[in-house]
Structure 1
Amino acid sequence: MQDLELLRYPIGKYLPPTTINIGHIQLWIEDLIELPQLIAQATIHLSEEELETPYRPDGWTVRQVVHHLADSHINAYTRVRLTLTEDDPTIRPYFEERWAELPDAKNGDIQLSIALLTAIHQRWVALLKTLLPEDFERRYFHPESKQQHTLGYLIGNYAWHGKHHLGHIEAALKN
């Protein structure tokens, strides 16, 4: 059996650069542009059985991962807008593991979440492309980690997050 840590973090944990620059931001925006299509391609021909395959023991199913991506990235988009319109906002965390257990995430059609992910990413990227470099230095406070982060950090984190869960889908389908 594969190492559990590799199954949990197929591309490794998010390690942001010490200094985030506009080059990083541009690469991460490209990742955000590509993600919905990569998820759609990875899941287009999956059977119900494959959608019910967990990516690791006691892990979410492929279906739950797809729905989680839409849920999480909707929250991220909201956090970006809060950070751009408020001074040092405190973002609202959510219980992602509970959301993944709701009936729509456990049993729902993944095409709905792929459509949501596609739309959110289109809108998100359109906004990000209008920002000035200093906008990515704006900060928000995350009450779970009790840390302030920059908008640049958030963009990098969610670019990683998409690849991270795409890795989960690919791992589930290999096993």
Structure 2
Amino acid sequence: MIRQDLQYPIGEFQTPNQIHTELLETWITEIRQFPVQLEELISHSPPLSEEWKYRPNGWNIRQLVHHCADSHMNSFIRFKLALTEENPSILPYQEALWANVPDTQNAPIQSSLTLLHGLHQRWVILLQNLSKEQLNRTFYHPESKKSITLRENTGIYAWHCRHHLAHVKLALDAKGKWN
């Protein structure tokens, strides 16, 4: 029996050696489709399933959805900083702690779904209009101690979308088993 990695069900992000135009377009499509896919998954779920977790001691569906809104807002802002400053140092945040603040614990999921729809619409417009030079602009991440290109960050966030869609699917399949 193959045991699925519940924390990284699709594996961890691996930066490809070369990020060609077709791959970038695939990533942009994944970012575009994410809010609709997430909403579709959740819209067919039973009442109170937002409390279901995808693994023991993991986040519940509500926390996952709010985390995606928080994380994707941060990423969008990092894109803007990289486009308007020379390799700016970004501000990391404690996502595990953010998952436990009052809005993440109590706000309806729909508030973050609405935010994700608008945010991803703007993000995709931005991504589709970046030149090759702009895609190569960078920001500095003090935790990893490296500069990340916008091209690579597009892939990281396409992966992030797939990663958390897989978490929501796992939580729905577990039907409250990990609560």
Q: TM-score if structure 1 supplies the norm length?
A: 0.95
Across the aligned residues of Structure 1 and Structure 2, the Cα RMSD in angstroms comes to 1.5
Give the match for residue 108 of structure 2: 109
Which residue matches 2:76? 77
Q: Shift of residue 85 of structure 1?
A: 0.5
Contact 1:54 1:62 in 2 (8 A): yes
Q: Which residues of structure 2 form unaligned runs of 5+? A: 175-179
What displacement does 1:50 show? 1.0
**Could you tell me whether the CA contact under 8 Å between 2:53 and 2:171 is conserved in 1?**
yes
Write out per-residue CA displacement over residues 92-120 of structure 1, whole angstroms, 9 at most, x where no aligned residue.
11111111101111121000000001110
CA-to-partner distance for each residue in 1:22-49, whole Å, 9 max, x for gaps? 2221111100110000000000133443
- Could you tell me how far apart the structure 2 residues matched to 1:103 and 1:71 are? 14
Alignment correspondent of 1:65: 64
* Count of paired positions: 174
Residue identity opposite 2:151 in structure 1: G
Q: Where does residue 166 of structure 1 map in the other structure?
A: 165
Contact 2:88 2:138 in 1 (8 A): yes
**Alignment of 1:17 onto 2:16:** yes
Q: Is 2:82–2:88's contact at 8 Å kept on the other side of the alignment?
A: yes
Alignment of 1:1-175 (within 5 A): 3=3, 6-175=5-174
Identity of aligned residues (%): 44
- How many Å apart are 1:156 and its aligned residue? 0.3
AA of the residue aligned to 1:154 = N
For 2:49 and 2:117, the matched residues in 1 are separated by 22
Please tell me whether the aligned partners of residues 29 and 159 of structure 1 are also in contact (alpha carbons under 8 angstroms).
yes
* Letter of the 1:110 counterpart: I
Q: For the Cα contact (< 8 Å) 1:67–1:110, is it kept in 2?
A: yes
Q: Which amino acid in structure 2 is aligned with residue 151 of structure 1?
A: L
Instruction: Show structure 1 runs of 4+ deviating over 6 A.
Output: none
SS in 2 for 1:116: helix
Q: How far is the alpha carbon of 1:163 from its aligned partner?
A: 0.6
Maintained 8 Å contact 1:22/1:133: no
- 3-state SS in 2 of match to 1:58: coil
Distance in 2, Cα, partners of 1:69 & 1:24? 22
